[in-house]
C-alpha cells in the first residue's frame, strides 16, 4: 500500500520518461538500466506508464470507497432505525439491487453515458454500497438495543446524534473491512472495464488499458503483460489484507483477554 501511494504521488512530479510519448525506434526494448521494465509496442517506457497508472488506481479506489460509504450508511440506517414498513421496503430494495453484478452495472452505465473513470467510481461505489448496507444493517440493529444507546435516547439525544456518536463507531470494523473490499473490487472493475474499452478513456494511462493493448503480444513479449498484471494482483491483495488487519486491531470482539494461570 505504501509503495502504491508513493508511486501515485511521485507520478505527479517525476517520471523517467513521458508516459504519452511514443518512440517507434524504442519498440520492445528489454528491461535495462535505461528502461527498468522495458518498452511496449509503440516505444513507451512501461515503468513510466505504470507510475501514472497508479495515480488512476488510487483515485478510483478512494472515490469508490466514498460513494460506497455514503450509500451503505444511508441504506443501513434506513433499514435498521426507521419504521417497520420502511425497513421492509429497504430490505426488498437491497435484495433486488444486490442481484445485479458490479461489472454489469458499470457496463450499463458506460454504454449509456460513455466510458470514463467517473462511471466506474459511481457504478462500483453504488453496487458495493448496497452490499455494505446489507451487511451493516444487522449490526446496527444489534447495537441499537445496547444500554448506552437506550441511555442516550433517554437523555434526549436524537436519532442522528445517536447514529454518529454510538452506532457508527461500534460498527466501524465491519465498515472498514467492507470498504477495503470495495476498493479492491473497484481496482478490478476499472482494470476489467478498461480492458473491454469502457473504463479509462483513450490516452489515459491505466493498468487495465495496458493489458488490453499488450494482450496480443503475450506470446512474443510476455514480460510486457507481466508488469501491469502483477501490479493489479498485488494492489488488490494489499487492500484485502489491510482491511483484515485493521479489523483485527479495531474490533473489540476479536481481542482476547490474557489467560491468567496459577
What is the residue-wise DSSP string for 242-259?
HHHHHHHHH-GGGPPPPP
Percent of the chain predicted with pLDDT > 70: 94
pLDDT of residue 16: 93
* Residues 114, 110: Cα–Cα separation, whole Å: 5
Which candidate, 83, 88, 73, 92, places its Cα nearest to that of 139?
A: 73
Reported confidence tier of residue 259, pLDDT bands at 50, 70, 90: very low
pLDDT of residue 143: 81
pLDDT of residue 211: 86
pLDDT of residue 253: 61
Q: Is 28 a residue whose pLDDT tops 60?
A: yes
Reported confidence tier of residue 254, pLDDT bands at 50, 70, 90: low
* Cβ neighbour number for residue 145 with a 10 Å cutoff: 8
pLDDT of residue 161: 74
Residue 47, C-beta contacts closer than 8 angstroms, at least 6 positions apart: 16, 35, 36, 37, 227
The pLDDT of 69-85, averaged and rounded, is 84
* Residues 257, 95: Cα–Cα separation, whole Å: 38
Answer left, alpha or beta for residue 232, where phi above 0 means left and psi between -120 and 50 means alpha: alpha
Reported confidence tier of residue 227, pLDDT bands at 50, 70, 90: very high
pLDDT of residue 231: 93
Amino acid at each position: 500500500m505504501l509503495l502504491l501511494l508513493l508511486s501515485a504521488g511521485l507520478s505527479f512530479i517525476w517520471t523517467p520518461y513521458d508516459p504519452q510519448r511514443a518512440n517507434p525506434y524504442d519498440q520492445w526494448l528489454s528491461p535495462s538500466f535505461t528502461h527498468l521494465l522495458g518498452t511496449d509496442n509503440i516505444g513507451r517506457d512501461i515503468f513510466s506508464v505504470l507510475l501514472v497508472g497508479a495515480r488512476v488506481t488510487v483515485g478510483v479506489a478512494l472515490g469508490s470507497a466514498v460513494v460506497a460509504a455514503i450509500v451503505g450508511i444511508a441504506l443501513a440506517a434506513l433499514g435498521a432505525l426507521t419504521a417497520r414498513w420502511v425497513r421492509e421496503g429497504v430490505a426488498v430494495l437491497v435484495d433486488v439491487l444486490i442481484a445485479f453484478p458490479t461489472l454489469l452495472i458499470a457496463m450499463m452505465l458506460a454504454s449509456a453515458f460513455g466510458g470514463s473513470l467517473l462511471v466506474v467510481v459511481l457504478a462500483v461505489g453504488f453496487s458495493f454500497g448496497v452490499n455494505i448496507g446489507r451487511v451493516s444493517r444487522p449490526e446496527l440493529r444489534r447495537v441499537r438495543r445496547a444500554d448506552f444507546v437506550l441511555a442516550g435516547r433517554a437523555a434526549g439525544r436524537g436519532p442522528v446524534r445517536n447514529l454518529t456518536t454510538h452506532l457508527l463507531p461500534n460498527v466501524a470494523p465491519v465498515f472498514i473491512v467492507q470498504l477495503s473490499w470495495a476498493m479492491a473490487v473497484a481496482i478490478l472493475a476499472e482494470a476489467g472495464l478498461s480492458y473491454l474499452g469502457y473504463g479509462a478513456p483513450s490516452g489515459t494511462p491505466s493498468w487495465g488499458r495496458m493489458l488490453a493493448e499488450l494482450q496480443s503480444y503475450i506470446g512474443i513479449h510476455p514480460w510486457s503483460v507481466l508488469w501491469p498484471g502483477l501490479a493489479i494482483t498485488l494492489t488488490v491483495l494489499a487492500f484485502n489484507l489491510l482491511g483484515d488487519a485493521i479489523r483485527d486491531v479495531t474490533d473489540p470482539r476479536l481481542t482476547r483477554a490474557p489467560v491468567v494461570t496459577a
